[in-house]
């Protein structure tokens, strides 16, 4: 008999999709505040422009990865994204700049990567 799994792939994808949808909405609505909290930089017209592009992309990604009965492609996409963004945010934190939410974001994405790997 197989032990019960408290974190199912469906639940994991739901959490990941909701977080990316919320992050995308924050980037669209408050790009300057988000830049300050995540990276510790002041938002400019240029950074706000790119933050909003990224916000639209994250919303699309969250929608595309919303869990369905057969979500293997979504799981793979979220696994790659979470691993890559954890590494990139850590790089930014060590070599570029760091805001209040940067290291919690690194930890969150690293944990999500580990959970997607063990699915």
pLDDT at 96: 94
Write the CA distances from 69 to 72, 115, 118, integer angstroms: 9, 19, 18
Rounded to 5°, the CA angle 88-19-40 comes to 50
pTM (2 d.p.): 0.89
Alpha carbon distance, N-terminus to C-terminus of the chain: 18
pLDDT at 4: 53
8 φ/ψ angles, rounded to the nearest 5 degrees: -80, 160
Measured distance CA(60)–CA(33) in Å, rounded: 21
CA atoms 94, 95, 100, 102: torsion sign: negative
Kindly list the domain boundaries of the chain, sorted by start residue.
9-117
pLDDT at 2: 52
Reported as a single tens digit per residue, the pLDDT across 74-106 is 999 999 999 999 999 999 999 999 999 999 999
pLDDT at 38: 92
């Amino acid at each position: 008999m197989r032990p019960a799994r408290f974190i199912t792939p469906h639940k994991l994808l739901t959490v990941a999709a909701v977080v990316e949808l919320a992050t995308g909405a924050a980037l669209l609505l408050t790009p300057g505040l988000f830049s300050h909290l995540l990276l510790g930089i002041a938002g400019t017209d240029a950074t706000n422009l790119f933050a909003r592009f990224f916000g639209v992309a994250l919303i699309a990604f969250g929608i595309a990865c919303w869990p369905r009965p057969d979500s293997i492609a979504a799981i793979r996409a979220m696994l790659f994204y979470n691993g890559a963004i954890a590494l990139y945010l850590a790089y930014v934190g060590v070599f570029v700049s760091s805001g209040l939410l940067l290291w919690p974001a690194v930890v969150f994405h690293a944990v999500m990567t580990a959970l997607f790997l063990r699915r």
